[in-house]
Chain A
């Protein structure tokens, strides 16, 4: 019978991070990008909790994770508001086509 170790958690967490990163880099839709960010944040949460459980830091990790979840909610709200404004301005939310910073 195999014990679930820190390594397993880190594996899951890094997989999730990579998926989130891929999502941020590769998807065209801004909403999808935001969702990728959520994945990255959640992979960080798993790391917090895992290190808290296996590293002997008490409940500090869990507290930080909760903090991140709240932060993610606030961040999503602001980001969605920005996306809404972008949509109003460019009539789409495709990050490829919004390249005004080039000039």
Chain B
């Protein structure tokens, strides 16, 4: 363990992109090649992360590395107790897996952007922003406490804002950037409240210490209700960042950013941060909190899937599909399938980044045309893009031999098992329904883009396959979407190395009464173990009934998910490839439903009407209050002050100045008299001398002084 300096390597990986950001931003204007520096730095980080992930997963899969130091030590603070804040890093299997995903996709996006962004006037700045994003994301990945999590959380929000609004000359882009930022704030308020409750109760931000405290029976405000609330509040951050219902509205708009950014931030990594946060806080989630999370996840999986059916913008379809897949992951965590949820995060990162980069390749070839109704027939022109896109589409639809099948099937099986254990069958039903919709809209997208007759002849003729720097990342991601990287058995990941040795569900720490009975079998013994060996990954041993349910769920879930996926794909072919059904007629017959989906369930309009307008009304009222009441007070006090000033001015002019002028006048008058003495005539002086002499003589002789002065000699 000690031979490999995990923490040091992690620090180097963390700070390399930050250095890349600073240097690229500083010298980007002078040196045109700075983007190569940034790309090289990311490549080095990728190399180190591959080494680290390999070492960790292959040799030290059962251990955790933690390094922490005290950042602030206030000692005993009155009214609070011992106040210390620790910062630190934790490296476990989840960390290194996500580290690898982030570094790999970031590097591929860098390579892709070299071609895609060519000719942009802020070329180097784009790479600098990618650098700061990678830094912040890695910060989230490495953290072992909630404070650093929050700091880097906001940093990824910032870099997302900068990159969505990268083409800020476009009004829609700057609006989308603002929307993303503000909607994320809404979720972050909940998260901040959760962090504060956590800090007040446990006086630490560190996950391990909090879990330990909870397992020893120390609850916030001594109630299990507040433990549930704490979990839900922290999850609010994930709702914002992972674009979950009801805060999902920012993600489709975020597609205004450059397409590589959408691939990196808004498909593969940043939006997965919410899932990662949920993974990190998983042990403290109570049964009720998990149910809430599963509900949010199911809604987020279903609603965007129905919206994606009718969208015509290639990136919008992918955006809604991203929300839907994130909903899957969240739902998986909610039904207790910790490992499958995270596994889906990894596999989804690869194929969704691939889909976005593929769409970037299409958009690049079509000269920034994004409407799929105006594409078609691109298969011949863009063969590499087409075949990789096909693999990604198969993966996201959950067709066997792909990575997507493994993770999705796992999630569906877990939801099925959860339904049979608790009676909440709705999650499994939603899951299968969404799988059907996903397969349909992905193949609708694929067929409309790549098959059929070209609709825009001129653009079609100019279309050409993208350069190697753009196609090789696609090919690499397509290879990573094949099952063989995750398990040897293409039908199930259950016995594969990812599920078997790398991802183990952590021990839940919530009290017996507020957890699901199947979450963990053993009770007090593990608490002592935990204290004794905090360096080891503790794993939950699911109860036998859960294992049983999973076992029973496996085959039905597999065949059902395969069935719905194939059904969805066939329907898409039926509608758009063979054109057996006139889609226009179909649309006309269900016009209200179609419009409902096309207009995104009217969420934007709803929020405009309620929240935005409500805020406007409140703002107007506040403005009125400001203008009349507050300004009135200010103006009133101004008037009073002015009056007092006038009085004081008069006093100054007549009294103070009068005294001063009087003194001056008196001095002048005295001067007139005194001036007379100096005549310049010698004789006058002589007379005065003699007169004075005579007077002094008299005084001396008769001892008389004027003005009652006393004579002393």
Which of A's residues lie within 8 Å of B, judged by CB? 21, 24-26, 33, 95-96, 99-103
Contact = CB atoms under 8 A, between A and B. Distances in A.
A102 B683 contact: no
Contact of A96 (B678, B681, B686, B690): B681
A26 B682 CA distance: 11
A35 B164 CA distance: 113
A99 B687 contact: no
A65 B131 CA distance: 115
25 contacts: A21-B690, A24-B683, A24-B686, A25-B683, A25-B686, A25-B687, A25-B690, A26-B683, A33-B683, A95-B681, A95-B682, A95-B683, A96-B681, A96-B683, A99-B679, A99-B680, A99-B681, A100-B680, A101-B680, A101-B682, A102-B678, A102-B679, A102-B680, A102-B681, A103-B680
Contacts of B679: 99, 102
A96 B678 CA distance: 13
Contacts of B682: 95, 101
A96 to B, nearest CB: 6
B181 to A, nearest CB: 82
A36 to B, nearest CB: 10
A95 B679 CA distance: 12
Interface string B663-691: 00000000000000011111100110010
A29 to B, nearest CB: 12
Contacts of B680: 99-103
A25 to B, nearest CB: 5
A24 B678 CA distance: 19
Top 4 nearest A-B pairs (CB, nearest first) are: A102-B680, A99-B680, A101-B680, A25-B683
| Residue among A25, A26, A100, A103 facing the most chain B CB atoms (10 A cut-off) | A25
Given A24-B686, A33-B683, 20 more contacts: A21-B690, A24-B683, A25-B683, A25-B686, A25-B690, A26-B683, A95-B681, A95-B683, A96-B681, A96-B683, A99-B679, A99-B680, A99-B681, A100-B680, A101-B680, A101-B682, A102-B678, A102-B679, A102-B681, A103-B680
A99 to B, nearest CB: 3
Contacts of A95: 681-683
Contacts of B687: 25
Main secondary structure of the interface of A (DSSP, over half): helix
B146 to A, nearest CB: 90
A28 B492 CA distance: 141
A84 to B, nearest CB: 17
Nearest to A103: B680
A24 B690 CA distance: 12
| Residue among B678, B682, B686, B687 facing the most chain A CB atoms (10 A cut-off) | B682
Interface of B: 678-683, 686-687, 690
B416 to A, nearest CB: 120
Contacts of A96: 681, 683
A24 B687 CA distance: 10
Nearest to A24: B686
Nearest to A21: B690
A86 B321 CA distance: 119
Contacts of B683: 24-26, 33, 95-96
| Residue among B678, B681, B686, B690 facing the most chain A CB atoms (10 A cut-off) | B681
Nearest to A99: B680
B676 to A, nearest CB: 11
Contacts of A21: 690
A26 B683 CA distance: 8
B107 to A, nearest CB: 95
A96 B681 CA distance: 6
A26 B690 CA distance: 14
A100 B679 CA distance: 9
Contacts of B678: 102
Contacts of B686: 24-25
A10 to B, nearest CB: 16
B697 to A, nearest CB: 14
A94 to B, nearest CB: 11
Nearest to B680: A102
A2 B86 CA distance: 129
A24 B686 CA distance: 9
Contacts of A101: 680, 682
A3 to B, nearest CB: 29
A101 B686 CA distance: 14
B684 to A, nearest CB: 9
B601 to A, nearest CB: 102
B503 to A, nearest CB: 109
B687 to A, nearest CB: 6
Contacts of A100: 680
A84 B690 CA distance: 27
Contacts of B690: 21, 25
A99 B682 CA distance: 8
A25 B683 CA distance: 5
A95 B681 CA distance: 7
Nearest to B686: A25
A28 to B, nearest CB: 9
A103 B681 CA distance: 11
Contacts of A99: 679-681
B683 to A, nearest CB: 5
B90 to A, nearest CB: 96
A93 to B, nearest CB: 13
Nearest to B687: A25
Nearest to A97: B681
A99 B678 CA distance: 10
B686 to A, nearest CB: 6
B556 to A, nearest CB: 125
A26 B687 CA distance: 10
Nearest to B685: A101
B168 to A, nearest CB: 79
A21 B680 CA distance: 19
A95 B682 CA distance: 8
A25 B688 CA distance: 11
A44 B687 CA distance: 19
A27 to B, nearest CB: 9
Nearest to B682: A95
Contacts of A103: 680
A99 B683 CA distance: 10
A57 B683 CA distance: 36
B200 to A, nearest CB: 88
A14 B682 CA distance: 23
| Residue among B679, B683, B690 facing the most chain A CB atoms (10 A cut-off) | B683
A21 B691 CA distance: 12
A55 to B, nearest CB: 21
A100 B682 CA distance: 10
A61 B436 CA distance: 150
B675 to A, nearest CB: 10
B588 to A, nearest CB: 115
Contacts of A24: 683, 686
